[in-house]
Amino acid sequence: MTTTVEAGTPPVGKSPSGSARGARHRTGRIHRVGLPYLLLLPALLLELLVHLVPMVIGIVMSFKELTHFYIRDWGAAPWSALANYEVSVDFDAPVGEALLHSFLVTVAFTLLSVGLCWLIGTAAAVFMQDTFRGRGLLRALFLVPYALPVYAAVITWVFMFQHDNGLVNHVLHDQLGLTDKRSFWLIGDNSFIALLTVSVWKGWPFAFLIVMAGLQNIPRELYEAAALDGAGVWQQIRRITLPFLRPVNQVLVLVLFLWTFNDFNTPFVLFGRTAPEAADLISVHIYQASFVTWNFGTGSAMSVLLLLFLLLVTGGYLRLTSRGRRAAP
């Protein structure tokens, strides 16, 4: 430990004790100016390499006619100005129409999934705020879907949604008789419900976790004072718990929104490379537009449009909620 620390300290700090004061002074200045940047350097380099530079390249690619003819040497692909964007947003032609459809499906899916995840997570956290017997066990159990690797969780749902040997049809049709015949869950219109179910099952524990952490910061005295004033439990939840969770919710909802909107893993494992139309989430749609049809220019243009949309929504959301937050207290 000591040696690492010594080695990590800039040499100036190790100057002989005679000029220690002056050296310390100088070290302090160097640290104030240079050290923070030095500490940030690894993160900065990696973010540049893996996120920022690829993003710039992606944007450049969106202005190129990058089909499979040019994939070996993409620099040689001809510039196509805005052609890729025109194709993407021409909603009367098949490509644009499919993109718009996929976008709308994703919006509906995200709103429902985030809403349900937030609702279930918050309700569970609030109900489990007081201690009761078995609370610790229940809490651990509730976190299991979140802890499971995505593919392991989703593949289990794939099995449950199977037409002939799945649990869902067995319960709904064989045991409860709710459907006339066994339904298909992973193709056709039902696939939207299947996707939503899996997404909520997997996602709500995250909301639960965050809200649970947020609840611990609410001072106990507030509840005691409210109880003395005669406020019931429901009133306490409405007047104390929920207002206190506002800042937590501001971030939580945004993070859930971004993760759900960009989710690739769940639909990809659930449906494979080509998702059914009713559950054609935008990430998989773009993946297919790029890798299955080998048209990377158009795929990139679609990704850029998606990014612009997310930036817009995030910016608007933060403005809106921050203003409300400042006005609230």
Partner 1 sequence: MRTPLAPPRSFQWSRRIFLTLLTGFVLVPVYVMVSSSLKPLADVTGTFRWLPTELTIRPYIDIWSTVPLARYFVNSLVVAGAATVCSVVIAVFSAYAVSRYDFRGKRVFTLTVLSTQMFPGILFLLPLFLIYVNIGNATGIALFGSRGGLILTYLTFSLPFSIWMLIGYFDSVPRDLDEAALVDGCGPLGALFRVVVPAAVPGIIAVAVYAFMTAWGEVLFASVMTNDTTRTLAVGLQGYSTLNDVYWNQIMAASLVVSVPVVAGFLLLQRYLVAGLTAGAVK
Site for partner 1 in 8-67 (CB under 8 A): 8-10, 13, 27, 31-33, 35-37, 39-40, 42-44, 46-47, 49-55, 57-58, 61
**154 vs 194: CA distance, rounded Å:** 11
Q: Is 186 exposed, middle or buried (0-12, 13-18, 19+ CB in 10 A)?
A: buried
283 binds partner 1 (CB under 8 A): yes
Among 103, 142, 185, 271, binds partner 1 (CB under 8 A): 142
149 binds partner 1 (CB under 8 A): yes
160 binds partner 1 (CB under 8 A): yes
Segment interacting with partner 1, rule: CB under 8 A, options 88-96, 108-116, 158-166, 320-328: 158-166
69 binds partner 1 (CB under 8 A): no
Which structure tokens are listed for 298? 């158009």
Among 123, 187, 196, 278, binds partner 1 (CB under 8 A): 123
176 binds partner 1 (CB under 8 A): no
Nearer Cβ to partner 1 (191/249): 249
1 binds partner 1 (CB under 8 A): yes
How far apart are CB 283 and partner 1 at their closest, in Å?
5
How far apart are CB 296 and partner 1 at their closest, in Å?
6
Looking up tokens 């949604």, which residue turns up?
161
Residue 64 has phi, psi (to 5 degrees) of: -115, 155
How far apart are CB 4 and partner 1 at their closest, in Å?
7
How far apart are CB 224 and partner 1 at their closest, in Å?
7
Among positions 206-265, residues that touch partner 1 (CB under 8 A) are 209-210, 212-214, 216-217, 220, 223-224, 227, 232-234, 236, 247-248, 251, 255, 258, 262, 264-265
81 binds partner 1 (CB under 8 A): no
Q: Residues binding partner 1: what is the number (CB under 8 A)?
A: 111
Among 83, 107, 112, 138, binds partner 1 (CB under 8 A): 138
**175 vs 103: CA distance, rounded Å:** 37
312 binds partner 1 (CB under 8 A): no
159 binds partner 1 (CB under 8 A): yes
Distance spanning both ends of the chain, measured CA to CA = 47
